[in-house]
Amino acid sequence: MPSTQRQDLSIAITGSGGAGVVSAGTLLLDMAAELGHYGLMRKAYGPQIRGGESAALLRLSTRPVHCMDDGFDLLLALDWQNTDRFAAEIPLSADSLIIADPAAGEIPAAISQSGAQIEPLPLKALAGETEGGRANMVALGLLARWLGFDHSAAQALIGAAYAGKGETIVSNSLASFERGFDTVLKHPPAQVLSTGGSAAPRWQLSGNEGCGLGALRGGVRFAAAYPITPASEMLEWLAPRLEQLGGSLLQAEDELASINMVIGASYGGVPAMTATSGPGLALMLEGFGLAIASETPVVVVNVMRGGPSTGIPTKSEQTDLNIALYGMHGDAPHLVLAALDTADCVFCTEWAVRLSEALQAAAIVLSDQGLAQSRALIDQPERRALQIPPRSLATDDGPYLRYALTEDGVSPMAIPGLENGMYTADGLEHAQSGKPSSAAADHSAQLDKRQRKLENHDYGADWAETSGGGDTAIITWGSSTGAAREARQRLAEAGHEVRLISMRLLLPASVEAMNKALEGVGRIVVVEQSHSQQFYHYLRAYYDLDVAIEVLARPGPLPITPGEIVNRILQQG
Amino acid sequence: MEHTVKVANPIKPKQYKSAIKPVWCPGCGHYAVLNAITKALAQLALANEQVALLSGIGCSSRVPAYTSVYGFHGIHGRALALASGLKAARPELTVLVAGGDGDGLSIGGNHFIHACRRNMDMTYIIMDNEVYGMTKGQASPTTAPDWTKSKLTPHGTGLRPFQPAALALAAGASFIARGFSGDPNGLARMLVAAIEHKGFSVVQALSPCPTFRPEHMDWKHQIRAFEHDSTGDAILAAQRIQADDGQSTGIIYQRELPVWQPITRNSGSIDQFEQEFCV
Ligand SMILES: Cc1ncc(C[n+]2csc(CCOP(=O)(O)OP(=O)(O)O)c2C)c(N)n1
Ligand code: SF4
C-alpha cells in the first residue's frame, strides 16, 4: 500500500507499568527532534505506584503541537494489562492500526470494537531472541523504522539514554532495537510523517520543569513543599537546582507548614514559592491570606488534578479555578495566572514571581496534570526581558512605616538586617506602621491599598493570548488553549475565521482588555475542562458579556480535543 | 550562632521594647515573659535588626509588636513554620518564636514536633497558661482533665494533659527548659542559655492567666526550682520530667545534636540548567 505523507501522527504505546513504555516514548521524542519535528507525549497511568497499566501517548508533528489529536493512528500494545482502563483515552477508528503481541492474549473488546486493523507481532518472542532483550526496545525499533529515523542516529540516542545504566543494558537494548528495526510488517501503516522539519533549536521538557525554570528565572531562591501528585516532579527538579543557586528547598511536614515557611523566607527577603495540587492548596489558603494581609510576596504553583477530595490524582482537570479565585476569607486581592502550554509554564511562572515581588502580592499559578507531566518537544522558548521592577525595599533613613499609604499602593519593605527598619508584619488589620488596628478608617485604607496595587498595575498584552478574527470568539484558559488554538487553525483553513482569547491572567480581571478583544463579537463559545463550568461562571461574574454564550465544558480526565471544539463551532450556522 | 555585638555600654532591656501598649489584662503573666525576653536580648547585646521574633495567634502571640526587633504576628499555630522558613533563608539571624499552649500544642502540634525533630537553631517560648485566653477561657492541651469552668467542656476535658517538656524530648528537641513568669530574672537567664544553645531550644514559660484561671495566681507559692542541674541524658531527663508535677523550673535537658540547616552552594547557573533541555 502506498503510504501518504502526513503532518501529524499519533501513536499510543501501552504496557504494564515497568514495561518501559514511557522510556520508549521519550526516546521517540528525541528521535523526532533530530528529524526537525515537534511533539508531545502525554503519560497515562493508573493509580498503582509500580506495575498496573501505563501508556505513552505521543503526537509527532511537522508543526508545533500543544494538544493531543482527536484520534490515534497507531496503538502498539506490549501487553493488555488493564488497558481497558484507559481505552477511552486512546480513541481508535477503522483507519487506525493496532500492533499487538498474540502472546499477550486476546485484544480487549473496548479496543477491538474500534474496527482498527490488527497486526499481530510476537514482540516478547522477538525480545527473547537476544540476551536481556526488552519488548519496549523492539517496539521502538519498529517505530523508528516506520517514522524514517536514521538507524545509527537512533542507536546513538539509545546509547546515550542508557549510558548511566551500564554497558550490558545498552547492548541489550540495542539488540532488541535491531530486532524491531528489521521486522517487516504485513500491514505497514498507511501514513508516514512528512520529511524536512525545521532546524530551529528544540527543547524537550515537561510543564513541571517549565514552571520550575520560570520560578528560577523570576528569582525564586527558596521553596518549601509537601509531596503531591502531579506537582512532585517540579519539586524534584527544583531541589538540586535551588541548592546550586545558593538557595534551597525544604520538604515541609505538611502544606500548612509549606506556605508559612515560604512566607517566612520571603519576609526575610528571599523570593520564595511552593508547589502543590488541589488538596494541598485547600490546606494552604489560610496562610495565603496571611501573605495577602502582611503583603509578603509568595507564589503557589497549583498543578490541578481531578477533584474534589483525592479525586483522580493522576489525571487532569481544570477545576481548581474556583478555589484559586474565591477560596480566600475576607476581601483578599491576589493574583491568579494560568499557563497556556509547556513553554508558557516558563513564562507564566516567571511573570507571576516578578509580579508578586514587584506588587508584594500573593500569586497562584494554575497548571494541570496534562501540562505538568507531558513532555513536549518545542522551539526553544524566547526569553523576554520583563519590564517589572524588583521588590521595593526600604532604606535606612527616616521613621519607617511598613504599610505606608503610597500612591501605587506598594510600600517599601524592610528586610531583617536593615538597621532602622524594625516593624512587625501582621495578619491582623493594621495602621500604616503595622500596629494592629480595628479602626474603620485603617481597614478601608489598607483594603484600598492592597487592591490598588494590583489593579493599577499595567499588565500589558500578556493578560491573554489573542488570535484570529470574525464575529465568533472562543474564550478559554490555561491548558485548554492547545486544543482551542488548533481548532481555530483548522477552522481558518476551512474558511471559517474565529477569534481565540486564551486567558493567562485571571485575577485581577482585565475587563477593558476583554471588552476590546470582543469588539464586534456576536457569539462566544467558552471552552473549559470542568463539569460545573467554573470558568464560564467566572466570566459571567467579572466581564460584561452581553452576547450569545455557549459553553463547551466537560470534566476530565479526557482532554478536550480540537475536533470537539470545531464541531461545536460549526454546529450553529 | 553569631551574635552581632553592637555597643560596648551595657544595653538596657528597654531598647528592645516598642512604644505599643500591650492589650493584656492587668496581672497577666505575659507581661513578665515580655520583660524576660527583652532582658535576655539586652544581656546578649544583640543588635535589634539581627533578631526576629515570630508568633501565631493568641494573647501570648501578641508579643512581637511589643518589642522593637523584627516581628511577625502570623496565623494560629503556624509560627514555627514561619520561623523555619525565615531561618532556612536567613541563617545569620537570631530567630525567636513565642506563642501560647493552644497555639503551639493544639493547632500547631504537628509543627512543634517537627521543629523539635528538625533541630534548627532557634528558640521557642511556649507561654503556658493552661487555657485559651484570647478566645475567653477554653481548655487547652495542658489543661487539667477536671477543670470544669469552660462551657465547652462542662465535665472537664477528661483528657490527660500534654507535658510539653516530655513531648519536646520525645520529638528530639536539643534544649528543654521550664521557667515561670513570676521569676522573670530566672526566665531571662534561661532564655539567654536557650538562645546561646545551638539547635532547637524549647522554653516552657508558665505564665498565669488571671482572667480565666485566677486560681493559678497561687503558682507563685507552688512553683520551685528543680533539684537537679540539666542533663544531656535523655533517659534521665525523661525520668525527671515524669517524676515531676510540672511545676519545677530549670533547664531540664541540653545536648549537642546535629543542627539542621539546608545545604546550599553556588555552583550552578540557570543557563546551565536550560542547556539540559536542549535536544
Ligand atoms: C484557625 C484559627 N482557629 C481558631 C482561632 C481562634 N483562636 C485565637 S487564639 C486561640 C487560642 C489561644 O490560646 P493560646 O494559644 O493558649 O494563647 P493565649 O491566648 O492563652 O495566650 C484560638 C482558638 C484562630 N485565630 N484561628
Ligand atoms: S485573657 Fe488571660 S492570657 Fe489573655 S491577656 Fe488576659 S490574662 Fe492574659
For the segment A432-449, what is each residue's pLDDT rounded down to a tens digit? 999 999 999 999 999 999
Residue A187 alpha carbon to ligand 1 centre in Å: 72
Helix (H) or strand (E) holding B166: helix B164-171
| A463–chain B Cβ distance below 8 A for any pair | no
Give chain A's domains with CATH numbers: 8-201 (3.40.920.10), 204-378 (3.40.50.970), 460-570 (3.40.50.920)
Confidence of residue A86 (pLDDT cuts 50, 70, 90): confident
Per-residue model confidence (pLDDT) at position A190: 74
Measured between beta carbons, the chain A residues lying within 8 angstroms of B111 are 253, 256-257
Range name among A97-106, A286-295, A406-415 with the lowest pLDDT average: A97-106
CA angle B133, B98, A399 (to 5 degrees): 105
d(CA A186, CA B228): 88
Residue A51's pLDDT band (cuts 50, 70, 90): low
Q: Is A254 helix (H, G, I), strand (E, B) or coil?
A: coil
Q: CB-based contact (8 Å) between A492 and chain B? A: no
- Positive or negative: CA dihedral A356, A361, A362, A365: negative
C-alpha cell at A53: 497499566
The mean pLDDT of B115-132, rounded to a whole number, is: 98
Contacts A362 to B, Cβ<8 Å: none
pLDDT higher than 90, residue A386: yes
Q: CA-to-CA distance for A279 and A276, rounded, in angstroms?
A: 8
Residues A107, A97: Cα–Cα separation, whole Å? 13
Arithmetic mean of pLDDT, B96-124: 98
Using a 10 angstrom Cβ sphere, with 0-12 exposed, 13-18 middle and 19 or more buried, the burial of residue A337 is buried
In Å, what is the CA distance from B45 to each residue of A38, A543, B10?
63, 58, 8
Q: Determine whether the shortest distance from the Cβ of B103 to ligand 1 is under 6 A.
A: yes
ipTM: 0.97
Nearest atom (ligand 2) to Cα of B30:
8
- Between the CA of B171 and the centroid of ligand 2 the distance, in Å, is 29
pLDDT-derived band at A370 (thresholds 50, 70, 90) equals very high
Cβ–Cβ under 8 Å, residues A56 and A25: yes
Question: Which residue's CA is minimally distant from atom 4 of ligand 2?
Answer: B133
Task: Please name the residue that has the C-alpha cell 497562584.
Answer: A364
Question: CB-based contact (8 Å) between A214 and chain B?
Answer: no
Backbone Cα Rg of chain B: 19
Q: What average pLDDT does this structure show over A136-164?
A: 90
List chain A residues with CB under 8 Å of B277. Answer: 203-205, 209, 213, 380
Q: Which three cell numbers stand for residue A538?
A: 467566572
Residue of A204, A250, A417 with shortest CB distance to B49 = A417
Sign of the four-CA dihedral A56, A60, A66, A72: negative
Q: What is the average pLDDT value for chain B, to the nearest integer?
A: 96
Is 60 exceeded by the pLDDT of residue A202? Answer: yes
Find the residues whose C-beta lies inside 6 A of ligand 2: B 24-25, 28, 30, 59, 129, 133-134, 209-212
Atom index in ligand 1 nearest the CA of residue B127 equals 21
Contact B138, B106 (CB under 8 A): no
The burial class, CB within 10 Å (0-12 / 13-18 / 19+), for A112 is middle
Contact A288, A262 (CB under 8 A): no
Assess whether the C-beta atom of B129 lies below 6 angstroms from ligand 1: yes
On average, the pLDDT of chain A sits at 94
Q: What is the pTM of this model?
A: 0.97
In degrees, rounded to 5, the angle at the alpha carbon of residue A273 between the alpha carbons of residues A268 and A279 is 130
CA distance A496 to A488: 8
- Residue A196 CA to chain centroid, in angstroms? 29
Identify the residue whose C-alpha is closest to ligand 2 atom 1: B133
Helix (H, G, I), strand (E, B) or coil at A331: coil
CA distances from A107 to A15, A85, A101 (A): 13, 13, 9
pLDDT of amino acid B177: 98
Structural domains of chain B sorted by starting position, each given as residue range(s) with its CATH number in brackets: 13-275 (3.40.50.970)
Evaluate if residue A2 carries a pLDDT over 70. Answer: no
Closest C-alpha to A251, from A263, A239, A266: A239
Least confident of A130-139, A261-270, A279-288, B40-49: A130-139
For A82-105, letters b (16+ CB in 10 Å) and e give: bbebbbebbbbeeebbbbbbeebe
In the structure, what pLDDT confidence band is assigned to residue B9 with cuts at 50, 70 and 90? confident
Q: What is the pLDDT of residue A49?
A: 64
> Tell me, what DSSP letter sits at residue A309?
T
Cis-peptide, bond into residue A557, ω within 30° of zero: yes
pLDDT confidence bin for A398, thresholds 50/70/90: confident
* Rounded mean pLDDT, A88-115: 92
Average confidence (pLDDT) over B230-254 = 98
CA of B140 to the centre of ligand 1 (A): 10
Residue B1: pLDDT band with limits 50, 70, 90: very low
Local structure of residue B48 (DSSP, 8 states): G
Helix A151-162 / helix A21-34 crossing angle, nearest 10 deg: 130
Task: Search chain A and give the residue with CA nearest B277.
Answer: A203
At A152, the pLDDT band (50, 70, 90 cuts) reads confident
Partners of B49 on chain A (C-beta within 8 Å) are 416-422
Confidence of residue A1 (pLDDT cuts 50, 70, 90): very low
Tell me: the pLDDT tens digits for A282-310? 999 999 999 999 999 999 999 999 999 99
Higher pLDDT, A22 or A573: A22
Using omega within 30 degrees of 0 as the cis cutoff, is the peptide bond preceding B184 cis? no
Q: Which three cell numbers stand for residue A6?
A: 502526513
Q: What is the pLDDT of residues A496-520, one digit of tens each?
A: 999 999 999 999 999 999 999 999 9
Distances (CA, A) of A559 to A142, A320, A502, B25: 28, 16, 16, 60
- Yes or no: say if B103 and B132 are a contact pair by the CB < 8 Å rule: no
Cα–Cα distance between A551 and A537 in angstroms, integer? Answer: 10
Given B69, B89, B270, which is nearest A422 (Cβ)? B69
Interface test with B, best of A208, A238, A261, A298 (most B CBs within 10 A): A261
Q: Are A37 and A196 in contact (CB under 8 A)?
A: no
Residues of A in contact with B75 (CB under 8 A): 260, 286-287, 289-290, 427
DSSP-derived secondary structure letter, A165? G
CA distance B21 to A146: 80
Average pLDDT over residues A342-360: 98
| Beta-bridge partners for A9 | A60
Ligand 1 lined by B59 (C-beta under 6 Å)? yes
Q: Which of residues 193-212 of A touch B (CB under 8 A)?
A: 201-205, 209
Mean pLDDT, residues B195-206: 98
Q: Are the beta carbons of B65 and A434 separated by less than 8 Å?
A: yes
pLDDT band at A200 (very low <50, low <70, confident <90, very high): confident
Distance CA B52, CA B70 (A): 5
Residue A160: which residues within 8 A CB-CB, separation 6 or more? Answer: none
Kindly give the distance from the C-alpha atom of residue B22 to the centroid of ligand 2, in angstroms, as a whole number: 11
Minimal Cα–Cα distance from B65 to chain A, Å? Answer: 6
pLDDT tens per residue across span A234-245: 999 999 999 999
Continuous segment of H or E residues that includes residue B242: helix B234-243
Closest-lying ligand to the alpha carbon of B25? 2
Measured CA distances, A409 to A94, A436, A452, A459, B63 (Å): 62, 19, 6, 16, 28
Q: What is the DSSP string of A354-410?
A: HHHHHHT-EEEEEEEHHHHH-EEEEEPPP----------B--SSS---TT---SSS-
Which protein residue's CA is at the shortest distance from atom 23 of ligand 1?
B135
